[in-house]
Amino acid sequence: MRGILILAFSCFCSQAFAQHTESQLDSLFNKLYTEGKFNGNVLVAEKGQVLYQRSFGMASLDQKRPLNKESIFELASVSKQFTAMGIMILKKKGALSYEDSLRKFFPELPYEQITIRHLLNHTSGLPDYMELFEEYWDSSKIATNRDMIGLLAQYKPKILFNPGEKYEYSNTGYALLASIIEKASGKSYGKFLDEAIFKPLKMSNTLVLSRRFDNKVPENYAYGYVKQKTDNTFILPDEHPDYEAFVKALDGIQGDGTVNSTTGDLFLWDRALHDHALLTKKEWFEALQTPILKNGKKSFYGFGWMVDSSKTFGRIMNHSGSWPGYNTFIERHTDNDKTFILLSNMERGSLPYIAIRRILYHLQNNQPQPAIKLSADSLKQYKGKYTLAPDFVLTIWVENEKLLAQATGQTSFILTPEKTDWFIIPEVSAKIQFIRNDTGLVRSLVLYQNGQEVP
């Protein structure tokens, strides 16, 4: 009898925690939506059970159509994990090796010693294809992966560093991986992913889609919106002077983006990874290994996932995605089997993944107190855009008397002042040092993270 009572009490406590978690999440997202900071879908799960799933706002402003659980979003760079899985499945079938040279598939390209593994880990040193298109492409035409490969072969832009020497996020690398999938499988990138991943996992609302190039809009599509320059109203990026040229011209390039999905289908994906439905545990383990760079330092990117760990959360796998009108994020805590998925289709600000972590682990809002206090005016001297790599920019601004930073394609962080010109980002175990010139003006910075110094 006592055992039954203990079991009942345990179930009651578990249910109470779940209800409390749901209430906190609902309070968080209702507040963000009311304040105009979130428009999109969210799903939070623990141990295979959905704790919270809601939709906030509109899928189409023109049609006055609200979002619902089946709304389909462009995933942007969250697509990369599916490209990586496609490569891993082909490796399992013996169609390729991680050590295969890029030139085995594209001998017309001039890049020696770059392997599939380098592409997966973002350690290839390849130049950014977006800059290549900006310089040489007729923006009235929609480009495809074949066009990208053609420009690389024709103009032969130099690599940024020797393969394996550094980590540098590369959309070029993942677009090439999609083309390798096509070469190795004999099928289009979209068809291969559909047959090898989406259909087996019953992800019925997931597809590879270049909406403008394909001239196709799926039912229940969530259009992505950006803010007008003149006011705070929202328009499609196709109508915005800063975005219209490249969202159309680059719409046909796949692999670094163009997977479209729902929160529900991404939860099926999460469960498949948890249960090793597509790869054995040993095969999947390789995807989580982050490479040792030639300078002896360890990177933090596996195959299509950022990989990290902490005492509080255990091992974390996550990836963000950003494209005009869309901001996406998926995070899996594999030691504790917690998952959350955020899909936003309006330019509203950063996604609240730090707050979700705290709610899931019943933590207090423990943002460290600044070691020194700086006024909003003092913080303004650090504002600006700092280039960490050709296509990776850290934007820093002041909001509500706090200094915030956001890297390309990622969510924003609060920078907590530690000492003069030094700030910490506790959530990602990083520090930033601002560097002044001879006249005392801030002109650059150094990011310290994972044993690396990035100027």
Q: Which two tokens stand for residue 180?
A: 């390798």
Is 77 annotated in the active site? yes
**CA 321 to CA 73: how far, in whole Å?**
11
Residue 21: strand, helix, or coil: helix
The region that residue 19 occupies, defined by phi over 0 for left and psi between -120 and 50 for alpha, beta otherwise, is alpha
Query: What torsion, rounded to 10 degrees, do the Cα atoms 50, 55, 59, 64 define?
Result: 140
| Region class of 204: left (phi > 0), else alpha (psi between -120 and 50), else beta | alpha
How is residue 382 written in tokens? 């650090």
**CA atoms of 179 and 187, how far apart (whole Å):** 10
**Spatial distance between the Cα atoms of 89 and 124, rounded to a whole number of angstroms:** 21
**CA–CA distance, 117 with 104 (Å, rounded to integer):** 13
**In whole angstroms, how large is the CA radius of gyration of the chain?**
22
Burial of residue 427 (CB within 10 Å: 0-12, 13-18, 19+) is middle
Q: How many helices (DSSP H) and strands (DSSP E) are in the chain?
A: 14, 21
Question: Coil, strand or helix: which one is 415?
Answer: strand
Is there a contact between 45 and 339 (Cβ–Cβ < 8 Å)?
yes
Number of residues written out for the chain: 455
The SS3 of residue 358 is helix
**Measured between alpha carbons, how far is 119 from 272 in angstroms, rounded to an integer?**
24
Residues contacting residue 448 through CB under 8 Å, at least 6 positions apart: 430, 431, 432, 433, 454
122: left (phi over 0), alpha (psi -120 to 50) or beta: left
CA torsion sign, 191 to 279 to 263 to 225? negative
Reduced to 3 states (helix: H, G, I; strand: E, B; else coil), residue 405 is strand
Nearest in space to 85 (alpha carbons), one of 222, 178, 23: 178
At 246, list the tokens: 């490249």
In the set 55, 71, 77, 210, the catalytic residue is 77
List the structure tokens of 88. Answer: 């891993």
Which residues are designated catalytic?
77
